[in-house]
Amino acid sequence: MTEQAFGRRDFLKTAVVGGAAAATTGIPQPQSAHAQLPAAAAPAPSAAPAMEGYAFLNLEEAAFVEALVDHMVPADDLSPKGTDLGINIYIDRALAGAWGQGDRLYMQGPWKKGVPNQGYQLPLTPAQLYRAGIAATNAHCAKTYGKTFDRIDETQREAVLVALSTGKLTFDGGLPTGLFWGTLYQTVMEGMFADPIYGGNRNKAGWRMLGFPGAIAVHREHVEQYRDKLFPSDPIGIADIG
């Protein structure tokens, strides 16, 4: 039984039905949100890991986001995979928080489609767009592959993301694919590269991958010293500065 075929959602559903018995049947544990990093990349623990559990995503959405971030950010010697970076946790918190709920977004009608030069014109907060987009993508996957995104194989996932990112996929119901993809992509980038206080970029592994030194950044003496040279960086996040 592959991980994709029996993921977190099944575990949780089974757990609800089967109660304590489920824990003893060899069902894979849900992804640990702070699984081990490759030894080379493992720093001393700094910020406390984000709390487990989802504040916004429902079971289907959580499964989608976990599958998405692990597909987009697979584990290799550059970084752990997306869920081990906490990108799924970041996304959940972002959608539950002020930004996701439409903070600073002008939300008065009338609502018109407009032209691309006029920017975002949907009557949806980012959280509502995310919710509708996941449902529409899963509907497409169900129609095409008979399964939701989290249960299709790697090749199929790749095909879905290519279709989403190039606009070849058109959602039933009129939700613009490009706006959903743009929001999805932006939040994955944020979850990988924002300060770890927001739940992603765990252990600053996203920054480590780039050699970005993070929040400390007092480089007055470094500009000349490290011009065209490797800057030896052990990134520092906001929580590391007292």
Partner 1 sequence: MATKLKEVDVVIVGLGWTGGILSKELAEAGLKVVALERGAMRTAANDYSLPGIRDELRFAVHKDLMMNTARDTLTVRNTPSQEALPMRRLGSFLPGEVVGGSAVHWSGHTWRWTDMELKVRSMYEERYGKKFIPDDMTIQDWGISYEELEPYYDRFEYIAAISGKAGNLKGVIQPGGNPFEAPRAREYPLPPLTQVLSGMMFTEAAKNAGYHPFPRPTANASQAYTNPDGAQFGACQYCGYCQKYGCEANAKGSPHVAVIPFALRNPNFELRANSWVNKVLKDSDGKRVTGVTYTNVLNGEEFEQPASLVLLCAYALNNVHLMLLSGLGQPYDPVTQTGIIGRNYCYQTGLGATLFFENRRFNPFMASGGTNVTFDDFNVNWAFDRGPHGFVGAYNVSAAHNGGAPIEYRPLPRGTPQWGKAWKAARAKWYQGAMNIGASGSVMANRYNWLDLDPTYRNAFGQPLMRMTFDYKENEQKMGQHAARIVNDLAKAMNPTHLTEATARSSWTVVPYQSTHNTGGSIMGTNPRDSAVNRYLQSWQYHNLFTVGANVFPHNSSYNPTGPVGALTYWMLDAIKNRYLKNPGPLVQA
Instruction: Tell the smallest beta-carbon distance from residue 89 to partner 1 (Å).
Output: 14
Which listed residue (74, 153, 170, 234) binds partner 1 by CB under 8 A? 74
Rule CB under 8 A: say whether 238 interacts with partner 1: yes
Distance CA 184, CA 86 (A): 15
Cβ atoms 71, 176 nearer than 8 A: no
Residue from the set 5, 28, 32, 219 that interacts with partner 1 by CB under 8 A? 219
CB atoms within 10 A of CB 1: 9
Question: Does 110 engage in binding with partner 1 (CB under 8 A)?
Answer: yes
x/- track of binding to partner 1 for residues 169-208 (CB under 8 A): ----------------x--xxx--xxx-xx-------xx-
Q: Least distance from C-beta 125 to partner 1, angstroms?
A: 11
Report the alpha-carbon distance of residue 60 to residue 138 in Å, rounded. 9
Kindly state the DSSP code that residue 7 receives in the 8-state scheme.
-
Please choose, from the candidates 41, 43, 42, 44, the residue with its C-alpha nearest in 3D space to the C-alpha of residue 77.
41
Closest CA to 186 of 53, 87, 117, 107: 87
71 forms part of the interface with partner 1 (CB under 8 A) = yes
Positions that interact with partner 1 (CB under 8 A): 71-74, 76, 78-79, 99, 102-108, 110, 112, 114-121, 158, 161, 165, 185, 188-190, 193-195, 197-198, 206-207, 209-220, 222-224, 226-231, 238-241
